[in-house]
Amino acid sequence: MIKYVIVSIVSGILFGFLDGMINANPLAQKLNEIYKPIARTTINVPAGIVIDLAYGFIMAAVFLMIFKSLPGQSGLVKGVSFALLIWFFRVVMSAASSWMMYKVPIETVFYYLITGLVEMLILGVLYGLTLKSQTS
C-alpha cells in the first residue's frame, strides 16, 4: 500500500512535469496557435496539481487491477503494454476527435500523438518496474 501511494504521487508529479514540458515549449506554443482564441490566458496551478495527482492514483490503481491480464511476463513488458493501451484511449482517440471536429493542423495532431506516446511509456514503465511485485 505504501509503495502504491508513493508511486501514485511520483506519477502524478511526472504527469504535471511532462504535461508542462509537452505544452509549454516553443514548438508546442507554435503548434497550439490554432487554439489561441479559446485558450485560457492563465492556468489554475493548484487545480492542475490536484488533477495530475488524481490521475497518478487512478492510473496506478487501474494498472494494478489489470496487471495479470496485460500481455508479457515481466513488469516492464506489462508496463509498456499498459502504456500503449492508455495511449490509445487517452491520446489517440482525443487527437482523432480533434482532427475530425476542428481545423487542427496535422502537424499538431502528430505532435500530440508522439509526445503522448512518450509520456504514457514513461508512466507505464514506472508502473511496470515499481508496482509489479504487489500483484505477483
pTM of the model: 0.87
pLDDT digits (tens, 9 = 90+) for 59-97: 999 999 999 999 988 999 999 999 999 999 999 999 999
Element (H, E) at 35: none
Q: Is the dihedral of CA 75, 80, 85, 87 positive or negative?
A: positive
Q: How far, in Å, CA of 120 to CA of 57, rounded?
A: 15
